[in-house]
Structure 1
Amino acid sequence: MDDFAAANTSASIDGIRVDLRHWIGGERIASARTFADLSPIDEAEIAQVAAGTAAEVDAAVAAARAAFPAWSALPVGERSAILRRVADGIEARIEDLARVETRDNGSLIRSHRRGVMPRVALNLRAFADYAEKQLSHPDMSVRGHRERITYDPAGVVAVITPWNAPLMLATWRIGPALAAGNTVVVKPPEWAPLTASLLADIMHEAGVPAGVFNVVQGTGADAGAPLTAHPDINRLAFTGSVPTAAVIARAAAPNIVPLSFELGGKSPLLVFEDADLALAVDLAVEQFDNAGQVCLKAARMLVHSSIADEFTRRLVERTAGLRQGDPREENTDLSALIARRHFEQVSGFVERALADGARALIGGEPNRELGGLYYRPTVLVDAKPGSEILTEEVFGPVVTVETFQTEDDAVARANDTRFGLAATVVTSDPERAERVSHALHAGTVWVNCFFVRDLEAPFGGTGKSGIGREGGLWSFDFYCDVKNSVFSPNGWRNHG
């Protein structure tokens, strides 16, 4: 660690200037220490970022607490107008955001330009619009009484974000929290912190008042831990791993803070004998997106035995055609894993699976031509039932193929997991689609499609995949205290 006072306060990331300090109370705040931010593309250091501690967390929470009364008192239309300006600012800087996040976490530049960063803007715009529509209910009449339901903002919201899609998943929580009238403290991931700093600039330029949005960078131990245990936090949203969620839950428990957890998955893709095989293979290949570092990824292919050979042959053929390399190139399909520690974890999963009898039809090893953190897309077969590779989340470019004989067998295998984030079903039988989607234990089931969801629909998982639902009114249920006021026609004094 370096003395931050002697370090530059900003860095040029592929030509875009990024401030490396915290954003607290409408000001840039330095720390006494920094941490190294390494790019997964080449493992090179790209910045020394301010490393927050309990002191910066206290300052950010205090700033958010001080800003809360005025922000929450703004009419929802005024808050929404400001958030739409933030969305405009994001859209104006899509190229900058795409280039910085690609360098920072290794995701594909083309995905950022065409999908991820436009969705970041949509997260703000959609919840701004939805707040105006849903945060006021018409009064109801109950036995001659007037009954009113209101959504009161909860207070200060802590948002702890993951490295695989840091800005998109952050704004998925920030959007509804701010639209509802809360103030926010964000702790971005230490492995990909930089676009949160750009978002702070955009928030400021759009007129978000000081203290309403705050960013404290740093490690989980030094910045995340004091934030999750802070007594002045009113809501806490986290996306990440199950073990980390358990630590956060214990830290937040003494303060009785409501939690929203979006955690891991071991999602199945069920391919029935009547499936459109070309569509099934297309959906299977999609699971290598972001080098498999996607919580929703269908890592377990469950294929009817009658079509398994053909499905697997086509999947291997398509996987062989994926282009792995620098994510800043438009024609790259697959990039590197996020960090050396994660690379070793993914490698370890595959090595143990192969030692336990599984076979790699393709991949199964690092990409030695590229070196670094590049791991070849991998298709495994013959894994033993109940083995680690079939039950634990690998979070890398690794899928397994198993076969089944009957519909009941397919559902039983799909549900044989402690996770329940999502599932995908490929079938041409509408009645089967209804039966199977109903029987699957998952927060989201896609039939003959993948990754399609309206922002007003609920999102979340069952089992170890999380706590709660967000999206649409479910978000406002979480980020607000829902109040019911009943007014009697009796007892009024004559004010006429």
Structure 2
Amino acid sequence: MTTLTRDEAADRPTVPGAGAGEQLMLIDGERMPALAGGTIDVFDPSTGELIGTTPDGQAADVDRAVAVAERTFDERVWQGLSGAARQKILWRAADLIEQHTEELAALESLNNGMVIPMAQALIATAAETIRYYAGWATKLYGITSEISSLEAQYHTYTLREPVGVCALIIPWNAPSTLTVQKVAPALAAGCSVVIKPSEETPFTALRLAELFEQAGVPRGVINVVTGYGESAGATLAAHDKVAKIAFTGSTEVGKSIVKAAADNLKKVTLELGGKSPVIVFDDADIDAAIAGAANAIFMHSGQICAAGSRLYVQRPVFDKVVHGIARIAENLKIGPGSDLTTQIGPIVSQKQLARVLSLISSGIEEGAELVTGGERVHRDGYYVQPTILANPEPGARVIQEEIFGPVLTAIVFDTVDDVVAMANDSTYGLGAAIWTTDISKAHLTAKKLQAGFVWLNCHYVLDNSVPAGGYKQSGWGRELGPEGLDPYLQTKSVFAALTPAPFLNA
């Protein structure tokens, strides 16, 4: 395992980063503390050191932010602008975000542990997401038609209107990207929003909101409340003035949000957990499959919803594939995300690190063979070795539960039917990947997999024009693409009589 000594770490190349320090919530265009005065400590997962604080927002802070968002919506300070005007402002926001790529990427890495090249790529993607949805602001078309009854004729048309105040609850694994994936369509539709970032990674959401306002989004249209999920997040989910909630995170929390949203029947979209299978057939380009499968699980230390955490390899090439991935794992350079030579960074928190290590131990106890890794890296920060567990028992926790760490379970299979059955034997259905040179087998197998997106001889390919979401307990609805705009709109039908309509006699 390759690690840095303290002396080597002191000499490593770094990218200058933005500071964190004491941050305040953003409500009605003003930075402010929590009404109760509480704060939350925020740590750098690369070192375990305190890097700043944010307010511990409570119900009263949520009420204040929602009231501001509701006022801006009712006063039409944003939705009342033409689609062309909103489009221009969103384009300016995308330009500003691109101009601040280095700052935002460094802040994301500091707060999240993400390696700098990945953070920079995701900031660039976020800017393109804004541009994609900016284009939709001028294309919110309804339909027109003439209908006829036996007695009269009518002209009818539909209007697509913003739903109102939207609560956007953001996870810790890719804060900037997932904030923008929700904010961009909400603003394109004309909504006002309240963002609740993860208490562990709040800094980029606050900075992004400032940049949107700098671009011209009126104050109070975007509000950011920091706090814990069980207080600020739960209040947003149940709030009777919130018309729509978008959440990315764990399936367990997603279920609680659905229950909380029931009181006023608010619209809900959920992008939840995954346990994505990667299937390698014996006719695959084995070298490409090995590299692709390693990237699918070890990128961002496995802290990606669609990480390829279950590897199924056909028997004739099982040993070759598993040992090839193990060699990659053992040579990955572990270190802080700010180090430009780092290939795999830390786990986001001490709590998550403990959970990952616990699941590794449970897999070994339940009969899996430890191929490589399995231990904490002994240095400051929250690091775990890239780990491969071979052939655990079918009901083992490491197969059934989302680990959200650099932990791969490798399982042998013989036939297509066998691997499809094993791949679909999960409560999740987010992503899946197939490696084969047989194009018919690739497409036929893809049709049988229960997953929201399937990659053929690749992994992690997404595009703003194509919807993303999950089957089963991996979520409700879709983000990205035209489908990602729909949850922020509602349709009104208008009927105009062209000829007198008869009335019933009393």
Q: TM-score range by the shorter chain?
A: over 0.9
Which among 313, 331, 336 is matched to residue 321 of structure 1?
Answer: 331
Partner of 1:158: 167
**Cα distance change, pair 149–226 in 1 and its aligned pair in 2 (3 A):** same
For the residue of structure 1 that corresponds to 2:316, the secondary structure is coil
User: Hey, what's the Cα distance between the residues in 1 that align with 2:209 and 2:63?
Assistant: 18
Offset at residue 489 of structure 1 (A): 3.5
Partner of 1:26: 29
Offset at residue 219 of structure 1 (A): 1.1
Q: Greater CA deviation, 266-275 or 15-24?
A: 15-24
User: Hey, what's the Cα distance between the residues in 2 that align with 1:346 and 1:119?
Assistant: 29
Q: Determine whether 1:331 maps to 2:341.
A: yes
Partner of 1:422: 431
Partner of 2:78: 71
Offset at residue 326 of structure 1 (A): 1.4
Partner of 1:364: 374
Offset at residue 357 of structure 1 (A): 1.3
Mapping 1:184-199, distance limit 5 Å? 184-199=193-208
For the residue of structure 1 that corresponds to 2:48, the secondary structure is coil
Q: Greater CA deviation, 472-481 or 40-49?
A: 472-481
User: Hey, what's the Cα distance between the residues in 2 that align with 1:280 and 1:367?
Assistant: 27
Q: Which amino acid aligns with 1:278?
A: D
Q: Determine whether 1:99 maps to 2:106.
A: yes
TM-score normalised by length of structure 1:
0.93
Q: Which amino acid aligns with 1:403?
A: V
Q: Determine whether 1:86 maps to 2:93.
A: yes
User: Hey, what's the Cα distance between the residues in 1 that align with 2:270 and 2:63?
Assistant: 23
Q: Determine whether 1:111 maps to 2:118.
A: yes
Partner of 1:51: 56
Asked whether the equivalents of residues 299 and 398 of structure 1 are also in contact (C-alpha less than 8 Å), the reply is yes
Q: Which amino acid aligns with 1:78?
A: A
For the residue of structure 2 that corresponds to 1:162, the secondary structure is coil
Offset at residue 167 of structure 1 (A): 1.1
For the residue of structure 2 that corresponds to 1:132, the secondary structure is coil
Asked whether the equivalents of residues 60 and 185 of structure 1 are also in contact (C-alpha less than 8 Å), the reply is yes
Asked whether the equivalents of residues 333 and 343 of structure 2 are also in contact (C-alpha less than 8 Å), the reply is yes
Asked whether the equivalents of residues 16 and 96 of structure 1 are also in contact (C-alpha less than 8 Å), the reply is no
Q: Determine whether 1:125 maps to 2:112.
A: no
Which among 320, 323, 328 is matched to residue 310 of structure 1?
Answer: 320
Q: Determine whether 1:267 maps to 2:267.
A: no
Partner of 2:231: 222
For the residue of structure 2 that corresponds to 1:357, the secondary structure is coil
Which among 292, 298, 302 is matched to residue 308 of structure 2?
Answer: 298
Partner of 1:340: 350
Offset at residue 223 of structure 1 (A): 1.3
Asked whether the equivalents of residues 20 and 51 of structure 2 are also in contact (C-alpha less than 8 Å), the reply is no
For the residue of structure 1 that corresponds to 2:323, the secondary structure is helix
Asked whether the equivalents of residues 391 and 412 of structure 2 are also in contact (C-alpha less than 8 Å), the reply is no
Offset at residue 146 of structure 1 (A): 4.3
Asked whether the equivalents of residues 469 and 475 of structure 1 are also in contact (C-alpha less than 8 Å), the reply is yes
Asked whether the equivalents of residues 173 and 237 of structure 1 are also in contact (C-alpha less than 8 Å), the reply is yes
Mapping 1:137-286, distance limit 5 Å? 137=142, 139-140=144-145, 146-286=155-295
Offset at residue 17 of structure 1 (A): 6.2
Structure 1 unmatched ranges of 5 or more: 1-12
Partner of 2:40: 35
Q: Deviations over 1:44-93 (max 9, x none)?
A: 00012122111111111011011112311211111111111111110110
Q: Greater CA deviation, 67-76 or 181-190?
A: 67-76
Q: Deviations over 1:421-468 (max 9, x none)?
A: 010111111111121111000011111111212212221111111111
Which among 382, 385, 388 is matched to residue 394 of structure 2?
Answer: 385
TM-score normalised by length of structure 2:
0.91
User: Hey, what's the Cα distance between the residues in 2 that align with 1:123 and 1:188?
Assistant: 19
Asked whether the equivalents of residues 291 and 396 of structure 1 are also in contact (C-alpha less than 8 Å), the reply is yes
Q: Which amino acid aligns with 1:121?
A: A
User: Hey, what's the Cα distance between the residues in 2 that align with 1:477 and 1:190?
Assistant: 28
Q: Which amino acid aligns with 2:122?
A: V
Offset at residue 285 of structure 1 (A): 1.2
User: Hey, what's the Cα distance between the residues in 1 that align with 2:147 and 2:449?
Assistant: 40
For the residue of structure 2 that corresponds to 1:366, the secondary structure is coil
Partner of 2:363: 353
Q: Which amino acid aligns with 1:63?
A: V
Offset at residue 137 of structure 1 (A): 4.1
Asked whether the equivalents of residues 225 and 251 of structure 1 are also in contact (C-alpha less than 8 Å), the reply is yes
User: Hey, what's the Cα distance between the residues in 1 that align with 2:146 and 2:45?
Assistant: 59
Offset at residue 130 of structure 1 (A): 2.6
Q: Greater CA deviation, 27-36 or 135-144?
A: 135-144
Q: Greater CA deviation, 349-358 or 446-455?
A: 446-455
User: Hey, what's the Cα distance between the residues in 1 that align with 2:494 and 2:372?
Assistant: 62
Q: Deviations over 1:345-375 (max 9, x none)?
A: 000000011111111111011112x353110
For the residue of structure 2 that corresponds to 1:238, the secondary structure is strand
Partner of 1:9: none
Partner of 1:6: none
Offset at residue 217 of structure 1 (A): 0.6
CA RMSD of the aligned region, Å? 1.7
User: Hey, what's the Cα distance between the residues in 2 that align with 1:462 and 1:307?
Assistant: 30
Asked whether the equivalents of residues 19 and 197 of structure 1 are also in contact (C-alpha less than 8 Å), the reply is no
Asked whether the equivalents of residues 86 and 137 of structure 2 are also in contact (C-alpha less than 8 Å), the reply is no
Q: Which amino acid aligns with 1:250?
A: K
Asked whether the equivalents of residues 279 and 434 of structure 2 are also in contact (C-alpha less than 8 Å), the reply is yes
Q: Which amino acid aligns with 1:54?
A: A
User: Hey, what's the Cα distance between the residues in 2 that align with 1:285 and 1:130?
Assistant: 37
Which among 381, 400, 404 is matched to residue 409 of structure 2?
Answer: 400
Offset at residue 40 of structure 1 (A): 0.4
Partner of 1:10: none
Q: Deviations over 1:301-351 (max 9, x none)?
A: 111101111111211111112111111111111011011111000000000
